[in-house]
């Protein structure tokens, strides 16, 4: 009952818990991973970091797809994925500066989310093929095109969040930090699922550490020096002494 009072009950400011902790951690990890992967794309000395961030994004998307089926109320795709008609209606109301308020994702935001999830998988697949030397220049150009489309969609999403926040008088970006939005007690979720969020964060950080430690010799690491790539290589110096 204590958790119900803390999570599902409506606060004095009219806000309730909408986004669980795993959704919030997923969101910000995706932001960091995509930004890092995009910025390191042309840096040969940061290839390992680029690949690790890309694989992390794919893993995060796999988690989100699963959580979109079995997760909390507003995390489920059934709660926010809507047809083209609903999306167009929302965009019209947005253009008229009178958008309908949604406790969870609005139809336009939902469309952007689905698009970004799909693009992430496509970027990850083409990146994996390139990493395995299974494609040539055409595949590399496709990989870059998909990444640029992702950047454009992210920029559009951010712009829409800013506009929607102003029109609704509600900071949507802050809601993805606190988990709380304007709504009724009946629309709130009962649990924040914080332990699962900790597991998700630990999994991503752990994967990154393992990628660096066990990276094959010859893949530039963070410093760009091959001799610091793998645990085996670092230890080999002691064997020679």
How many residues would you count in the chain?
241
pTM here is: 0.85
| C-alpha torsion sign, points 55, 61, 64, 66 | negative
Residue located via tokens 């752990």: 206
Q: pLDDT tens digits, residue range 178-212?
A: 999 999 999 999 999 999 999 999 999 999 999 98
Q: Give the SS3 label for residue 18.
A: coil
**Angular region, 97: left φ>0, alpha ψ -120 to 50, beta rest:** left
Q: pLDDT tens digits, residue range 50-62?
A: 999 999 999 999 9
How many angstroms separate the CA atoms of 159 and 138, rounded?
32
Confidence class for position 234, pLDDT limits 50, 70, 90: very low
Per-residue pLDDT for 19 more than 70? Answer: yes
Burial class (CB in 10 A: 0-12, 13-18, 19+), 138: exposed
E-only strand ranges, 92-134: none
Q: How confident is the model over 161-174, as a mean pLDDT?
A: 94
Domain residue ranges of the chain, discontinuous segments joined by + = 2-216
Top-level class of domain 2-216: mainly alpha
């Amino acid at each position: 009952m204590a958790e119900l009072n803390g999570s599902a009950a409506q606060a004095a400011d009219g806000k309730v818990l909408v986004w669980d902790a795993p959704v919030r951690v997923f969101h910000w990890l995706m932001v960091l991973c995509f930004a890092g992967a995009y910025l390191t794309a042309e840096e040969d000395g940061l290839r390992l970091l680029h690949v690790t961030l890309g694989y992390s994004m794919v893993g995060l998307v796999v988690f989100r797809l699963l959580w979109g089926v079995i997760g909390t109320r507003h995390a489920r795709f059934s709660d926010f994925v809507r047809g083209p008609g609903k999306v167009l209606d929302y965009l019209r109301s947005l253009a008229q500066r009178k958008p309908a308020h949604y406790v969870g994702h609005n139809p336009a935001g939902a469309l952007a989310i689905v698009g970004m999830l799909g693009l992430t998988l496509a970027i990850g697949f083409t990146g994996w093929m390139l990493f395995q030397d299974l494609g040539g220049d055409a595949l590399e150009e496709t990989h870059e095109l998909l990444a640029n489309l992702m950047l454009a969609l992210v920029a559009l999403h951010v712009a829409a969040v800013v506009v929607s926040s102003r029109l609704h008088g509600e900071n949507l970006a802050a809601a993805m930090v606190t988990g709380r939005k304007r709504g009724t007690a009946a629309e709130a979720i009962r649990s924040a699922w914080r332990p699962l969020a900790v597991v998700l964060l630990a999994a991503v950080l752990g994967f990154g550490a393992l990628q660096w430690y066990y990276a094959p010799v010859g893949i530039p690491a963070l410093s760009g020096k091959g001799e610091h790539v793998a645990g085996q290589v670092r230890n080999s110096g002691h064997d020679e002494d």
